[in-house]
Amino acid sequence: MGGFNLALSALNVLLLFNIGGFETEAQWATLLIFNAMAHGSQFFGNAPMALQNRSGGGLWNFFKGVMLLIFVLDFTLMVANAGFAAWLLLA
């Protein structure tokens, strides 16, 4: 995990343990939207390379091992965070 991702992960863990710091659904949704954007930028940044893999190109293989896990997790967490934020804001 890169230094920036590690710092953001630590921030999220600290914020989650400070539950009293969030009093409204909009505050929780803000954190979730931020996380959805972070995971989305990773996913969409890697999508062109993954598409190159489908035609036999690309610098590394996205559809094996750890890269596949990271690629799938980024997409899943992007959708989950965005969906939960929308649910909080629309409920």
Closest CA to 85 of 44, 21, 38: 38
- The tens digit of pLDDT for each residue in 20-77 reads 777 888 988 988 898 899 899 989 988 988 889 888 887 778 788 888 898 899 999 9
Residue spans of alpha helices (H) in 1-91? 3-17, 25-54, 65-90
Q: Tell me the domain boundaries of the chain.
A: 24-90
Token pair of 38 as six digits = 């972070």
Residues with Cβ within 8 Å of 68's Cβ and at least 6 positions away in sequence, in order, are 62
The position carrying tokens 């559809």 is 63
pLDDT confidence tier of residue 87, bands split at 50, 70 and 90: very high
pLDDT confidence tier of residue 2, bands split at 50, 70 and 90: low
